Amino acid sequence: MTNVWAKSDTSDSVIHESDLHVRMFRSKIHINTKSYEKENNNNSNTDIDFSFEHSSEAIYREGKNLISRSYFNVDLGKGIWQGDAAAPDVRAWGSWMVGLNFVRQSKVTNHFYIKSLAGFHFHNFKFSDNSIQAVRGDQGVDFLQRDNGIKSKVAASYLTLAIIPKISTGHNGFRIGAGPYAGYRLGGRSKFVYRDGGRNKDFDTSNMYLENFRYGLRGEIGASWFDFFFNYDLNHVFENGRGPEVNAFSFGIIL
């Protein structure tokens, strides 16, 4: 896509030209600026060309040869849990999962590649019932009933590694893949927001008996420059016997 804001006569002389290239995730922005001077009256005007390009995950040089490459991307989606009926319900809206990923794609054939991923993943499990507060007890995590609750959640962050074999039909074509992932917990806490003469917050910054390790399966599907992910933890969110037996899963888009 190119927009031209001003048009110069061919008899004009260029007195200044600049190029700006900005890369963001899988996107590239190019801005070209040229300043012209009129030969007859010394007036000047400027042409600005703007172009935006968003690349497919699987890039084919000259539309034929799949290339290996490294890049950065972001997972943005919903993260909830399911399982034990005794666990507080988690609402989809407000329970975010964000992943900051460093990716290496290694070509195997023109239609098959291995995607290796290392990233920091952040999970927020927001409770549907705002009156529930999660706290670390002596024997396990306790879910207390509180008054005047505004919102309540459990949050955890992980260093995550994944290997995803993928099939691609060609340049800007359909692609799909699935593979295992494993992660190590970096942090965990609960947050309870309530009204008591104003807006107040209680934090429990202990590890909340969250499992230190997580592992599961990740699926990805995409076409053109759209890509979607789905993660499902095969182990429980909390340590055995220390909390409800729930498994986390997340889904969303890859930017």
Read off the pLDDT of residues 213-249 as tens digits, 9 standing for 90 and up.
999 999 999 988 889 999 999 999 999 989 999 999 9
Integer-rounded Cα Rg, in Å, for the chain is 25
Q: What is the largest CA-CA distance in the chain?
A: 87
**Exposure b/e, 226-242, CB count within 10 A at least 16 = b:** ebebebebeebbbeeeb
Residue 195 has pLDDT above 70, yes or no: yes
State the average pLDDT over residues 146-151: 86
Beta bridge pairs of residue 107: 113
Q: Which residues contact 251 (CB under 8 A, 6 or more apart)?
A: 77, 78, 228, 229, 230, 231
Return the domain boundaries, the chain: 1-54, 56-254
How far is Cα 113 from Cα 79, in angstroms, rounded to an integer?
27
More confident residue, 197 or 182: 182
Least confident range from 27-36, 59-68, 111-120, 222-231: namely: 27-36
Residue 167 has pLDDT above 50, yes or no: yes
State the average pLDDT over residues 70-87: 90
Q: What is the mean pLDDT of the chain?
A: 83
State the average pLDDT over residues 128-152: 88
Beta bridge pairs of residue 4: 49
How far is Cα 218 from Cα 232, in angstroms, rounded to an integer?
7
Residue 62 has pLDDT above 80, yes or no: no
Nearest partner of 118 among 77, 71, 153, 67, judged by Cα? 71
How far is Cα 210 from Cα 228, in angstroms, rounded to an integer?
27
Structure tokens at 135: 């706290």
How far is Cα 56 from Cα 248, in angstroms, rounded to an integer?
29
Report pLDDT for 172: 81
Return the residue matching tokens 């034929």.
Answer: 64
Question: Which pairing describes strands 96-109 and 112-126: parallel, antiparallel, or unpaired?
Answer: antiparallel
Q: How confident is the model at residue 1 (pLDDT cuts 50, 70, 90)?
A: very low
pTM, rounded to two decimals: 0.75
Report pLDDT for 55: 58
Q: Which residues contact 178 (CB under 8 A, 6 or more apart)?
A: 164, 165, 217, 218, 219, 220
Beta bridge pairs of residue 202: 192
